[in-house]
Structure 1
Amino acid sequence: MFQKIRVGSRRSSRFYAWAEVDWLLMASCIALTLFAGIMIRSVELNQGLTDWWQHWVTGGVGLILALIFSRCRYERLIKWRWVIYGVTNLSLIAVQIIGTTALGAQRWINIAGFHVQPSEFAKVGIIITLAALLQELKTPNLGDMVRILGIAAVPWGLVFIEPNLGTSLVFGAITVGMMYWGNIHPGWLILLVSPVITAIVFNVSLPVGIVWAILMGFVGWWSLPLRWLTGPLALLANLGAGQLSHILWNVLQDYQKMRLIGFLNPEQDPLGSGYHLIQSRIAIGAGQLYGRGLYQGTQTQLNFIPEQHTDFIFSAVGEELGFIGCIAVLALFWFVCLRLVIIAQTAKDSFGSLITIGVLCMLLFQVFVNIGMNIGIAPVTGIPLPFLSYGRSSLLSNWIAIGIVQSVANHRQRIKF
């Protein structure tokens, strides 16, 4: 009645090698990249810069790489996981030795005149490594989770000390999301992130912080073995995190502190840490429903917003294309995420599914944080908006990630009725 066929079997079409590629996902990413070039040109119209066409050229290279990766068997990456992990860490170590410094951080390596940011490619490297490890676990235990966290902690720490707080947060989102999809107990994941939440809540409201710590004690009692011991330990750990929050705060650089708290009341420092947020909100608010029109935004064309072609490109969309343009961009990102979920659910093995979920977590977290800081509800962390923000390393890494996901889609097993 029906038979299984393997995607990539011989067909008459010359394009049989891409027969099962998710072209809707590919078209969405292409649309975002093309739209980005238009907005970057608008931002830089009066400056005589050429970043907009460089973005398109980089996107074109990324598209070619994605098509190449989509033809390759993604399963082969499993045996290369430690090589990928080693190269990832070595590249991050190289940044500390021969990297160039800009904007108070040492994040780039100069290769043949191009500034390469290894931390962007490290996101893809850690996704592959974690997917290869998690797919081996049938019934993960606490020891497995600790091992996964230890492996992820090395590149995370190297990125954090650059310092690059934004990308280190992306690493955290990728790790937690992939562990959840890999059947790590959700209670353990809640306990994993609870000290960070406790440290924040304790500095906002002490009574709420105590209630949260007690709740985490119950989570520990419910999810951990030796519950009468581990439950109280979870409570004490969160209470300790609240007390140690001041010490952790002093570890951050001054500019990182201002980025984290400036969004709460940017008017306190309107010419310093709050300047970006204030100008971005003015730009988005000025766009109203339909926007001022392409190349017509006052905040955008008069260069009131620094780094608008990178971290704050969404504010240009809001001012020049209005609420309608913002919703269109959000809808396109939603569609990209939807296609990734579908691919993850229909992948032929857990390795492919985990890779796709890792890419989903990477893109989704960046979208939420970047747009959040543009509209003033999240701190400025330097996280780019995927495919839209100018940045060659970021754009290439995104396209490489999409290419690997397309390989997962392209090599699924289908049932023919």
Structure 2
Amino acid sequence: MTSSSRISSSWQRWWRGWQHFDWSLLLVTTGLTIFASVVIASTQYSQEATPYGWNHIFLGVIGVGLALALARVRYEVYLQWRWVIYALVNASLLAVIFIGTSGLGAQRWITIFGFNVQPSEFAKVGLIITLAANLQGLRSITLLNLIQVLAIAAVPWALVFLQPDLGTSLVFGAITLGMLYWANVNPGWLVLMISPLVAAIIFHFSIPIWLVWSVGMGLIAWFTLPWRLFSTVTATAINLISGKLGEVFWGLLKDYQKDRLILFLDPDKDPLGGGYHLIQSRIAIGAGQLWGRGLHQGTQTQLNFIPEQHTDFIFSAVGEEWGFVGAIAVLTAYWFICLRLVLIAQNAKDNFGSLLAIGVFSMLIFQVVVNIGMTIGLAPVTGIPLPWMSYGRSALITNFLAVGIVESVANHRSRFKFF
């Protein structure tokens, strides 16, 4: 064999590691990261020279490298390490409580070699792996199985909620619900799971609707749960007392969290306080009109009317400087990413791979909907970052790790193609 033939053969064996790689998924996520670096740099244009844009690009390069490396690893290996991963997740979240760094009213970071690392971001991927491993072998989900899965999710959820980090704890809930639905859990059970929260909210707006809701939950329990009479009475009672329970949990929230949950309904009640971000964000997005004011030309963005715009409120900068067209382009990119994730889940060779893809899908779509919703005044400010767009080291690396795991599912599927 000639030298050139050996080189060609080695190259083919090396390249075979990505033979079924979904390049379009990685391309779009990389494109979002590059575009985000431009927008992030724009938000810092009128301030002191801060290399947020370049840092975002640098971390994006690292993230792409990690995604490519993970795609070559067979995702089945996570089955063997699921409890180790789960233990590391909870240990890191516990470490935040004892040795964490505080900021913005919460204790969420651990300082490692001078960098602040947010374990709750990486815990999202850890939870997805653990839940997928525990759901993949179940042909049908019984109530006992459901309780076991909820218990697994409850530990990291509680540790994150205590930081306090309400936004990330909501993401954990979305991941759990999405994966349970994909695992064919009875939809009625999922409705009953979230019914107390809904009832607590309705109670403060309309008591008649709250009563109708409680009776409706009792009917769902009658048709979906065993021990019909007991289950119906219990479900109805839980929803009836949820108004008072809601007041108890409301008292556990910090003042800034209460403001975020209330003021999105009417931010003009406190225009210089809790409603300030929402008002300025809506002004910025509306000012962009169809084509936007142009890069470095947005008044709200350049004059720093929106604090910390390069993180949670990055979409308002897109709306102001790139307009409706730019905002739709970003939304289309997220739609495409979600489409690829669902297709990979549908075409995975086993339940474990399918659940991994749906877990990542649930994580991303919830964050996108809530983040963009809060920038346009349709959702409360929860501190949830916009995937690949918001500046944040831990969040960006986590998103690429998640993509790498899903790419492994696509890369090691059965040998057939899908569009």
Question: Hey, what does 2:401 align to over in structure 1?
Answer: 400
Question: Hey, what does 2:326 align to over in structure 1?
Answer: 325
How many Å separate the matches in 1 of 2:359 and 2:204? 32
Q: Which amino acid aligns with 1:163?
A: P
How many Å separate the matches in 2 of 1:162 and 1:218? 37
Aligned CA-pair RMSD: 1.1
Percent identity, please: 60
Residues 272-320 of structure 1 deviation map (CA, whole Å, 9 limit, x = unaligned) = 1000000000000100111111110000000000110000000000000
Question: Hey, what does 2:40 align to over in structure 1?
Answer: 40
How many Å separate the matches in 2 of 1:384 and 1:265? 22
Equivalent residue pairs, number: 407
Tell me by how many angstroms 1:243 deviates. Answer: 2.8
Q: TM-score, normalised by structure 2?
A: 0.96
Question: Are residue 193 (structure 1) and residue 200 (structure 2) matched?
Answer: no
Q: Which amino acid aligns with 2:22?
A: D
Residues 193-213 of structure 1 deviation map (CA, whole Å, 9 limit, x = unaligned) = 110011001111111111111
The 5-angstrom pairing of residues 22-37 of structure 1 reads: 22-37=22-37
How many Å separate the matches in 2 of 1:233 and 1:98? 42
How many Å separate the matches in 2 of 1:221 and 1:236? 13
Question: Hey, what does 1:230 align to over in structure 2?
Answer: 231
Q: Which amino acid aligns with 2:341?
A: L
List structure 1 runs of 4+ shifted beyond 3 angstroms.
10-14
Question: Hey, what does 1:19 align to over in structure 2?
Answer: 19
Q: Which amino acid aligns with 1:374?
A: T
Question: Hey, what does 1:6 align to over in structure 2?
Answer: none
Question: Hey, what does 1:263 align to over in structure 2?
Answer: 264
Question: Hey, what does 2:3 align to over in structure 1?
Answer: none
Tell me by how many angstroms 1:254 deviates. Answer: 0.7
Tell me by how many angstroms 1:233 deviates. Answer: 1.4
Residues 235-284 of structure 1 deviation map (CA, whole Å, 9 limit, x = unaligned) = 11111112321112111111110010110110010111000000000000
Relative contact order (C-alpha < 8 Å, sep 6+): which is higher?
1
- The farther-off stretch of 243-252 and 334-343 is 243-252
How many Å separate the matches in 1 of 2:301 and 2:11? 51
How many Å separate the matches in 2 of 1:233 and 1:298? 55
Question: Hey, what does 1:364 align to over in structure 2?
Answer: 365
How many Å separate the matches in 2 of 1:331 and 1:275? 29
* Secondary structure, aligned partner of 1:115: strand
How many Å separate the matches in 2 of 1:276 and 1:32? 24
Question: Hey, what does 2:273 align to over in structure 1?
Answer: 272
How many Å separate the matches in 2 of 1:389 and 1:245? 32
How many Å separate the matches in 2 of 1:375 and 1:196? 24
Question: Hey, what does 1:243 align to over in structure 2?
Answer: 244
* Secondary structure, aligned partner of 2:102: strand
Question: Hey, what does 1:212 align to over in structure 2?
Answer: 213
Tell me by how many angstroms 1:40 deviates. Answer: 0.2
Q: Which amino acid aligns with 1:373?
A: M
How many Å separate the matches in 2 of 1:101 and 1:139? 43
Tell me by how many angstroms 1:13 deviates. Answer: 6.4
Q: TM-score, normalised by structure 1?
A: 0.96
Structure 1 alignment gaps of length 5 or more: 1-9
- The farther-off stretch of 225-234 and 94-103 is 225-234
How many Å separate the matches in 1 of 2:100 and 2:193? 32
How many Å separate the matches in 1 of 2:248 and 2:119? 29
How many Å separate the matches in 2 of 1:366 and 1:12? 39
Tell me by how many angstroms 1:129 deviates. Answer: 0.2
Question: Hey, what does 1:149 align to over in structure 2?
Answer: 150
How many Å separate the matches in 2 of 1:11 and 1:207? 69
Question: Hey, what does 2:350 align to over in structure 1?
Answer: 349
